[in-house]
Structure 1
Amino acid sequence: MAITTLRLVARITLTRNVLALSRSGGLYCLVGRIQDINAVRQVKTALLSSRDLSVYSMNAPWFIHGIDFSDHLNYWQHDILAVMITDTAFYRNKQYHLPGDTADRLNYQKMAQMVDGVITLLHNSK
């Protein structure tokens, strides 16, 4: 089983369409290395079993800009299997890591759904 890192799940309104997929941030992207395609598929299947989640995935080489923007990079550097789950809010939230990046900007309902999907992943990995 892969180490799974979660990026923030924010309540953001887009001022521009960063990924051409969603203007409201209601989608999630799984990111893994090319050699980790089976792990990404396993995580995606578990997350899609949760209600109301739109999940996309990509496996890409390490040199693609942004693929290593989270804690999973530390595992990859030691050749440990890891997958990042992100809603790409760091591209959409102008307050990311600034004083205005406060708890009221988080979407707790979506976070709970994401955690449900991760729990499903853990149960299926026994």
Structure 2
Amino acid sequence: MKKLIILCASLWLCMGCEAILEDDISNESVVILAPAEGVQLTVGDATFSWQTLENATSYTIQVATPDFANATQIVVNTNTADNSATATLTAGSYQWRVSASNSEYTTGYTTINFTVN
């Protein structure tokens, strides 16, 4: 009986170990590839891309106009497992940001300003 209790306790502890085994990415930053800071794009489809972050399983991408502090519109707000996203944009000033997550941790946002002409 004692062995059974120890076995059950061991299994219960291991099943709750996922958070302990997940890598803490909260102090890391996502590196943005494009569009870069201050870039001027033409009206139409814009592709947003960033480097994958080791141990991240998903990314949150958001695009606002003119920026997040004074947003008149959130153009994109989505989660993806990919390291890119596309949106159709009209002329104006924009700010975009991306953060990475895994099952336990999330990074801060990396934020970039750009314009569309």
State the TM-score, normalized to the length of structure 1.
0.25
Whichever structure has more helix as a proportion of its residues is 1
The higher relative CO (CA closer than 8 Å, separation ≥ 6) is in 1
Q: Which has the larger radius of gyration?
A: 2
Whichever structure has more strand as a proportion of its residues is 2
